[in-house]
Amino acid sequence: MEYKGCSPRESVQIDQACEKVLTKLECDFVGLALQNTDGPDVKWHYAAGNSNEKYKRITVRYGKGIAGKVISTGRPMYVDNFPENIAGKALEYPIMLAEGLKQAYAVPIHFKGIPKGVLLIGNRSGQPINENRQSTARDAARTLEKKLNG
């Protein structure tokens, strides 16, 4: 099923799911980005632990930014020690800049087997996201996937 937007009740459930991931993984930020249904652009729809509301206005093109890259490749992505260890320019990572993140791990969320969304967990403190936490984030993505697929 393709993402068609959520009812207010479902939105609250997704917000709560993001909060749960934030608590479980003891990270600083959790965000959920979804590809628009009417075009290739990707928008951040839900967040927990956000330090401001900038994420709501951020739209990245398919293949750009962390969310766009994860959706276009269908593979998870780990950014460590931003902006030091990155491919390209810091300006190509808007969500990292908007939330002041140092580390981020992003996992694709599939609809009908096609990557259409991204679950991102991030840290501002500089604490690396180890394999254990990455695995928990992948599990959380699968749970969210089921929720979003109805």
Partner 1 sequence: METQPAKKNISSYIIQSQEDEIKRIALELHEGVGQTLYSLYTGMQFIQTAVDQPEMKDYIGDMAQMMEKTIQEIRLLAVELHPPALGTLGLLPAMKSYLKLYTSTYGIIVDLQNEGKEVQIRERERITLFRVCQEALANIARYADTMSAGIILRWEPGKLSITIQDKGKGFDVDAAMKNSAGIAAMMERMLLINGRCVISSKIGEGTSIDITLPLY
Asked if 128 and 82 count as a contact pair (C-beta separation under 8 A), the reply is no
Closest alpha carbon to 109 in 54, 136, 71: 71
State which of residues 12, 23, 57, 142 lies at the interface with partner 1 (CB under 8 A): 57
Q: Is 111 helix (H, G, I), strand (E, B) or coil?
A: strand
State which of residues 3, 13, 62, 80 lies at the interface with partner 1 (CB under 8 A): 62
Asked if 33 and 67 count as a contact pair (C-beta separation under 8 A), the reply is yes
Give the footprint of partner 1 on residues 75-134 (CB under 8 A): 90-91, 94, 97-98, 100
Asked if 71 and 78 count as a contact pair (C-beta separation under 8 A), the reply is no
Size of the site for partner 1 (CB under 8 A): 19
Asked if 66 and 95 count as a contact pair (C-beta separation under 8 A), the reply is yes
The verdict on 60 binding partner 1 (CB under 8 A) reads yes
Applying CB under 8 A, which part among 2-10, 55-63, 102-110, 119-127 lies near partner 1? Answer: 55-63
The verdict on 53 binding partner 1 (CB under 8 A) reads yes
The verdict on 54 binding partner 1 (CB under 8 A) reads yes
The verdict on 52 binding partner 1 (CB under 8 A) reads yes
State which of residues 56, 75, 142, 147 lies at the interface with partner 1 (CB under 8 A): 56
To which H or E segment does residue 122 belong?
strand 114-123
Asked if 141 and 25 count as a contact pair (C-beta separation under 8 A), the reply is no
Nearest approach, Cβ of residue 135 and partner 1 (Å): 30
Nearest approach, Cβ of residue 33 and partner 1 (Å): 13
Closest alpha carbon to 33 in 69, 9, 8, 1: 69
Contact set with partner 1 (CB under 8 A): 40, 52-63, 90-91, 94, 97-98, 100
